Amino acid sequence: MADFRTLEEAEGLKGKRVLVRVDFNVPMEDGRITDDSRIRAALPTIHYLSLAGAKVVLLAHFDRPRGRREETMSLRPVVEPLSNLLEQPVAFSTDCVGAVARKVVQGLEEGGVALLENLRFHAGEEANDPAFADKLASLGDVYVDDSFSTAHRAHASTEAIARRLPSFAGLAMQAELEALDSALGHPQRPVIGIVGGSKVSTKLDLLRNLVTKLDKLAIGGGMANTFLYAQGHDVGSSMCEKDLAETAREIIGLAGKNNCKLFLPLDIVVAERLAAGVPARVRGLGALDEDEKILDAGPETIARLKRAIDNSATLIWNGPLGVFEVPPFDKATVECARHAAKLAEAGKLVAIAGGGDTVAALHHAGVASEFTYVSNAGGAFLEWMEGRKLPGVEALRGR
In contact, 157 and 59? CB cutoff 8 Å: yes
Nearby residues of 287 by Cβ (< 8 Å), 6 or more positions away: none
* Count of residues making up the chain: 399
Residues 353 and 377: their CA atoms lie apart, in Å, by: 10
Active-site residue set: 38, 199, 356, 379
> In which region does residue 71 sit, left (phi positive, over 0), alpha (psi from -120 to 50) or beta (all else)?
alpha
Q: How many CA atoms lie within 13 A of 216 on its CB side?
A: 21
Helices and strands (H and E) in the chain: how many: 14, 17
Q: How far is CA 119 from CA 95, 140, 264, 307, in A?
A: 8, 15, 44, 48
Residues 358 and 196: their CA atoms lie apart, in Å, by: 9
Nearby residues of 347 by Cβ (< 8 Å), 6 or more positions away: none
